[in-house]
Amino acid sequence: DEFISSPPRKTVRFGGTLTEILLKYEKGDTTDFELLKHQLSDPDIKDAQIINWLHEFRTSVAYLTKELEQLVNILLKLSWLRRSREVVEEYLGFLGNLVSAQTVHLRPCLRMIVSQFVPPRITIREDDVDISDSDDDDENLSENFHTCHRALQTVAGYVPSTPQFLMPILVEYFPFINKSERTLECYVHNLLRVTVYLPTLRLQILELIVEKLLKLDVSTPQQDIEDAEETANNSGSEEKSTEEGLFDMEEDEERKGNKVVSPSSERMAHPLAERLDILMTILFSYIKDVCHVDGKLNINNTKDLYRDLVSVFDKLILPTHASCHVQYFMFYICSFKLGLAEAFLDHLWKKLQDPNNPSVIRQTAGSYIGSFLARAKFIPVVTVKACLDLLVNWIHKYIDNQDTGANAYCDVALHGPFYSTCQAVFYTLIFRHKQLLDGNLRKGLSYLQSLNFERIVMCQLNPLKICIPSVVNLFAAITRKYQLVFCYTIIERNNRQFIPVVRSGTGGDLVQTCTNPLDSFFPFDPYILKRSKKTIDPLYQFWEELSAEDLENLKKPIKKGTSEDEDDDFLKGETPQNDGVVGIAPNSYESSTRSPVSSTGSPADCYVPFPQ
């Protein structure tokens, strides 16, 4: 009778008001409570019903204690994002009321929001078997993400301690690296978006992202990426020759409405490299957007982000051996202002010279200094000279202290940082010697002679024996050409003393010669991820192959007494493009490793023959 006489509601619902239902439940009458749960769980529930319920829940949050956790969980599972604007606004209001009155539900609310940071999955089942499982390419995805961030900001506005509860959830929900590119892309993008309105979490979020990127990076060695590209190119060219007409049609289709679809040539053949490429592109875009306001560099924003990135670099990048791409976030931010590049070099220099740091960290810092000075096009010669002065002075002091003592012999374990510093100096000279000598050859030569390479090369610690052969041989050729030091006698002696290592295995004895006893690498070797390299390439110093004539010239020393005019002509004749050095790039691989053709900038090692 009561139901019939009551005024009709806009929607069908059971029982009395929400407050009455909850009071009945407290007294043990669960009938209406179960009906309420059932109606809220109904996938076909109408928008108007949801709005009515939420409106009542907002005024009754005081009743939603820990005991009613099950009911709150049903509310948090409502598909509110993909409904009308009225539902979304009502739901956001409900979330704010809930967390402000009952902080016990903060974590479940945060989990619900973070779970929406990736595209929903569409699963098609047939006979209890999943036959399709893919990302839902919802055209409203961007708007849904925006609403999620509004929800998170609403919660954070009501509960100041939100960041400390949020961070573990962000870590927990980070997708596995073998998830789809789209899933990873959306999650990382949303994480970076959180840093904009919760700046206290920025450092931790950057650490989380870089840690995941590193896992991708070390799982995809450069050689594997290049092999996959070569295989894909070969198979692609075979298919194109057999189905040329069909491919032409597809190319026409791609240009619908003058809008070129992202070509498949931009995709990386290696699946993990493809994921890494997409995520590095997002990271570079984030760095650029944070540092620039209205298209102009904002110094304060840039300094703050630089500090966070250096902290991430120290914690994660520096201790990681042989990562290929992730470290380029430091390369990129340093390109914005010379002061940042100099601060980064100073930071690495302090790491290198501090005897309290582990030897391996000091050696890696040396590798970073050499590679950064050689490859960063934005670092001027004056900065290169200042760094060389620091490094070479430190080397000479080290020789003063060690060259006559009990440890005055060639030993990587004892003198690792010394050898790493020597290699950084040799590597920098190989790349930068033309710029150091440009304009005034006599003055440039005088500067190089003041570095006293002869003492370094001739000392008892014998750095030429330890450094990578490709670096040693090019350094020897260049220093001989400019008559700075003659290294070949020492190189030949070292080669005679080289003792091969015999390793026994199931397949018999294997003779190995260790050509990289330092186990060093050049962190800024060529960047080969197709999309994100567009950001790096304009800032990057590439090598060009040496012609046979250049090789001959490299073997000819400059005659003493040459006039300055002739010197300038000589320099003009050999000044390469890219305001850099024409040559054969020493790379991080052992000398026996052939670098594929696709590796622009680090071709195979080439030895300049000993002078007869």
188-242 pLDDT per residue, tens: 999 999 999 999 999 999 999 999 999 999 999 889 999 999 998 887 666 555 4
Q: Which residue has the higher pLDDT, 203 or 1?
A: 203
Give whichever of 4-13, 81-90, 497-506, 513-522 has the largest mean pLDDT: 81-90
- pLDDT tier at 298 (50, 70, 90 boundaries)? very high
pLDDT at residue 337 is higher than 90: yes
Per-residue pLDDT averaged across 435-463, rounded? Answer: 90
The pLDDT assigned to 502 comes to 52
- pLDDT tier at 62 (50, 70, 90 boundaries)? confident
The pLDDT assigned to 138 comes to 67
The pLDDT assigned to 178 comes to 85
- Contact (CB, 8 A) for 482 and 437: yes
Could you please report the per-residue DSSP string of 264-306? GGGS-SSHHHHHHHHHHHHHHHHHHHHHEETTEE-HHHHHHHH
The pLDDT assigned to 509 comes to 56
pLDDT at residue 511 is higher than 80: no
In this prediction the pTM is 0.82
- Residue 377: which of 309, 443, 431 has the closest Cα? 431
Give me the chain's average pLDDT, please: 81
Per-residue pLDDT averaged across 388-415, rounded? Answer: 83
- Residue 76: which of 120, 41, 27 has the closest Cα? 41
- pLDDT tier at 113 (50, 70, 90 boundaries)? very high
Would you state the torsion angle of the CA atoms of residues 492, 497, 503, 509, taken in this order, to the nearest 10 degrees? 70
Per-residue pLDDT averaged across 440-456, rounded? Answer: 91
The pLDDT assigned to 202 comes to 97
User: Cα separation of 424 and 373, whole Å?
Assistant: 9
The pLDDT assigned to 308 comes to 97
pLDDT at residue 2 is higher than 70: no
The pLDDT assigned to 28 comes to 81
Per-residue pLDDT averaged across 126-147, rounded? Answer: 71
User: Cα separation of 338 and 344, whole Å?
Assistant: 10
- pLDDT tier at 415 (50, 70, 90 boundaries)? confident
Phi/psi for 414 (5° steps) reads -85, -40
Cβ neighbour number for residue 427 with a 10 Å cutoff: 28
- Residues paired with 124 in a beta bridge: 132
The pLDDT assigned to 95 comes to 93
The pLDDT assigned to 554 comes to 66
User: Cα separation of 198 and 204, whole Å?
Assistant: 11
pLDDT at residue 556 is higher than 90: no
Cβ neighbour number for residue 352 with a 10 Å cutoff: 24
User: Cα separation of 21 and 19, whole Å?
Assistant: 5
The share of the chain scoring above pLDDT 90, in percent, equals: 49
Q: Which residue has the higher pLDDT, 539 or 129?
A: 539
Per DSSP bridges, beta strands 121-126 and 129-135 are antiparallel
- Residue 78: which of 46, 55, 123, 100 has the closest Cα? 46
The pLDDT assigned to 30 comes to 83
First to last CA, the chain: 115
pLDDT at residue 571 is higher than 60: no
User: Cα separation of 89 and 91, whole Å?
Assistant: 5
pLDDT single digits (tens) 25-41: 888 888 888 888 888 88
Cβ neighbour number for residue 4 with a 10 Å cutoff: 5
Contacts of 310 (CB under 8 A, 6+ apart): 330, 344, 347
- Residue 31: which of 20, 21, 17 has the closest Cα? 21
Per-residue pLDDT averaged across 457-485, rounded? Answer: 89
When computed from its CA atoms, the radius of gyration of the chain, rounded to whole angstroms, is: 32
Cα–Cα separations (whole angstroms), residue 465 to 64, 158, 459, 563: 74, 64, 11, 36
User: Cα separation of 370 and 420, whole Å?
Assistant: 9
Contacts of 478 (CB under 8 A, 6+ apart): 429, 430, 433, 484, 554
Give whichever of 211-215, 432-436, 458-462 has the largest mean pLDDT: 211-215
The pLDDT assigned to 123 comes to 65
pLDDT at residue 588 is higher than 80: no
Q: Say if residue 543 is exposed, middle or buried (CB neighbours under 10 Å; 0-12, 13-18, 19+).
A: buried
- Contact (CB, 8 A) for 365 and 318: yes
The pLDDT assigned to 215 comes to 93
pLDDT single digits (tens) 474-489: 999 999 999 998 888 8
The pLDDT assigned to 201 comes to 97
Q: Which residue has the higher pLDDT, 569 or 538?
A: 538
